[in-house]
Amino acid sequence: MSSLDRRSFLFGKRKEGAATQESPTEKTASIERRHFLAGLAAVALMSGQKAGAQELSVPKEAAHRESSRPLLDTQEYGATALEAGLVFLANTAIEQLFDPFIRAQFGFSLGNANTEQVSDMLKSKPFQTFFSETLLKPVTEEGLFRLFPAILLKEWFGSDFNFGKGPSAWLVGIPVTFLFAAQHNVTNEGFDTEHIPLSQFMGGLFLWHLMRTKGIDHAVLAHSAYNAAFVGVAVPLHRRFP
Q: What DSSP state is assigned to residue 22?
A: P
pLDDT bracket for residue 62 (50, 70, 90): very low
Question: Each residue of 38-73: b (16+ CB within 10 Å) or e?
Answer: bbeebeebbeebeeebeebbbeeeeeeeeeeeeeee
Higher pLDDT among residues 1 and 138, named by residue: 138
Q: What is the mean pLDDT of residues 21-29?
A: 57
pLDDT bracket for residue 188 (50, 70, 90): confident
Side-chain-side CA neighbours of 141 within 13 Å: the count stands at: 29
The pLDDT of residue 78 is: 93
- Mean pLDDT lowest among 18-27, 89-98, 180-189: 18-27
pLDDT bracket for residue 8 (50, 70, 90): very low
Amino acid at 173: G
What's the mean pLDDT when you consider all of the chain? 75
Each residue's pLDDT tens digit, 80-125: 999 999 999 999 899 889 999 999 999 999 887 877 788 778 888 8
Higher pLDDT among residues 35 and 188, named by residue: 188
